Amino acid sequence: MAAAKRIIVGLGNPGFQYEKTRHNIGFEVIEALSVRIKEPLKTKGQSKIAWGSWRGQPVGIVQPQTFMNKSGLAVEELVRKNGLSPEDVLVIVDDLNLATGAIRIRGKGGAGGHNGLEDIADWLDSNDFPRLRIGIGNEFGKGQQANYVLEAFTEEERVLIDPAIEKARDAALTFVTDGIVTAMNRFNG
């Protein structure tokens, strides 16, 4: 398929032991997108990727396989190979500063302490890429952040997270068809 107009990147860590953990919510959104656009993810280069379209608009969906904090190399490779600008890439990440299940979309901004976003900004030499953050809460003790993000969601959290994944999927598809401003207006708040 020809180069995608937009790429949606969900961040996470590869490997069975990380599936369904808080830090891998970006991967879960990409899996939901794969079902929606009816294209399976396949390993290519440093990512699992599927190329398809949504309502006539070409899109690539991506799970970098370089681990969360080293996602920038895989994203930069896709941007370069497909002749895209940072504004064409929506990055989906977990966020400790948002309530569990809340989502927030921005057209650009800082990393906010998220190492995956920071690595992407470094590789793209830009913070001007859209990002969609999904709240995972912050119910952890001092010094327990790393353990917390690598734990699976509780059953109580899943009640909030599963609808958030669907909302994030729909927001990402709105970004593909209507752009970041419409996605922000429709899904923030």
> Which uninterrupted H or E stretch holds 158?
helix 155-178
Cα separation, 177 vs 56, in Å, equals 8
**pLDDT over threshold 70, residue 1:** no
> Which uninterrupted H or E stretch holds 95?
strand 89-95
Q: For residue 41, how many other CB atoms are within 10 A of its CB?
A: 17
> Which residue ranges make up each domain of the chain?
6-187
> Poorest-confidence range of 106-115, 116-125, 170-179?
106-115
114 included as an active-site residue: no
**pLDDT over threshold 50, residue 115:** yes
The shares of helix, strand and coil residues in the chain, as percent rounded to the nearest 5, are 45, 20, 35
Taking the whole predicted model, whether its pTM rises above 0.85 is answered as yes
Tell me what the pLDDT averaged over the chain comes to.
Answer: 93
Q: Which of 6, 22, 23, 133 is catalytic?
A: 23
Architecture in CATH of 6-187:
3-Layer(aba) Sandwich (3.40)
Which whole number is the average pLDDT over 68-87? Answer: 93
